Amino acid sequence: MKEPMMKASLCTRYGGADALEVCQTARPARQPGELLIRVHASSINPVDWKILRGDLRILFGRRPPPILGGDFAGVVLEADTSSRFQPGDRVWGLTEIRRLRHTPGAHAEVTRCASELVDAMPARLSFEEAASVPLVGLTAYQSLVHHAQLQPGQRVLVNGCSGGVGLIAVQLAKALGASVVGVCSGANRSAALQAGCDEVIDYQERNPLDEDLKVDVWFDVVGNQSLGAVRHQLAPAGCYLNIVKLISTSVSSWFNPIRSQKSHAVFVAPSASDLAHLRELIQQGDLHPVIERIYPLDQIAAAYERSRSQRTVGKLVISMTD
């Protein structure tokens, strides 16, 4: 019997976007407890080009994972008979980075994922819109809800409020009843205000560290600050979150003279229950995906290059159906 094939973006070596090759390759076989999913859309996240560049060689060794891509939105092809999802169901989710060595990512026409990590796709979204959310949405949700335990009436600063994580974080904070100060370039001010920022600081004109802000949560999406640098801007029991500098952020609370202030390094984890909460917020109209551009799979190298510029407003989506 002829082996089933699919179109995918393969990583041929560590390097830049020129190390990607879009071609036909073997379709993955589903394992018990997994769903086989026809991917309609995926997206690009900074972790994708960081893996390709070789930043995470310690996890993957001499060669990068064959197929990258975390976010997916698609339709179930195969499932266990006992699974809550069955062929034809529309689902979304996030693949596990630690399994990319042996499990294909979502930059392909077909992927497989543990069924407990998958959720029903929001009915009001297209596949492209849904595929833009999982990683950035889970990052924002786990940061603000699980780590910061954000409460109504509190004040949040989002450093990097016009990127993929930032725009979702602003909307989520507003949905939770907080006020939001956003930091981004002046060129992206309108996008930040549209997302819900109550105040926008243009970092090219004003240094947020020099402002009298007094926020309860400082969410550093860019990763160019630290608890030590921002502690004078935090409330006495404030929280500093960093999604980039994981090790230094993890230990910074130990050396902070204000013991009630905490710092958290946030490493996002796939979670169907958190995706379900995001789905509810989307269905209620509290969260709206922001997409800068949709690329066909054949142009994924261009999407990687654009993502590496770190100047995107919202997400870059890869369509598998164009």
**How confident is the model over 266-288, as pLDDT tens digits?**
889 999 999 999 999 999 999 99
- Residue in the structure block whose two tokens are 């109504």: 152
| Domain 135-265: CATH superfamily, name plus number | Medium-chain alcohol dehydrogenases, catalytic domain (3.90.180.10)
Kindly indicate the confidence band of residue 245, based on its pLDDT and cuts at 50, 70 and 90.
Answer: low
Q: What is the mean pLDDT of the chain?
A: 93
Between CA 187 and CA 192 the distance in angstroms is 10
Query: Which of the 8 DSSP states describes residue 158?
Result: E
Kindly indicate the confidence band of residue 265, based on its pLDDT and cuts at 50, 70 and 90.
Answer: confident
Task: Output the CA angle 92-171-228, nearest 5 degrees.
Answer: 105
Query: Which of the 8 DSSP states describes residue 29?
Result: P
What number of CA atoms fall less than 13 Å from residue 7's CA on the CB side? 14
* DSSP character string of 54-81: TTTHHHHTTS--SS---EEEEEEEE--T
Kindly indicate the confidence band of residue 254, based on its pLDDT and cuts at 50, 70 and 90.
Answer: very low
- Report whether 115 contacts 35 (CB < 8 A): yes
Answer whether residue 174 shows pLDDT above 90: yes
Assign a CATH topology to domain 5-132+289-319.
Quinone Oxidoreductase; Chain A, domain 1 (3.90.180)
Q: Report pLDDT digits (tens) over 66-81.
A: 999 999 999 999 999 9
Domain pair 5-132+289-319 / 135-265, same fold: yes
Q: Report pLDDT digits (tens) over 92-123.
A: 999 998 889 889 999 999 999 999 999 999 99
Which helix (DSSP H) or strand (DSSP E) does residue 247 occupy? helix 246-252
The domain segmentation of the chain, as residue ranges, is 5-132+289-319, 135-265
**What is the per-residue pLDDT for 226?**
87
Between CA 135 and CA 133 the distance in angstroms is 6
SS3 256: coil
Q: Which residues, other chains included, contact 162 with Cβ-Cβ below 8 Å and sequence gap of 6+?
A: 182, 184, 185, 188, 191, 192, 313, 314
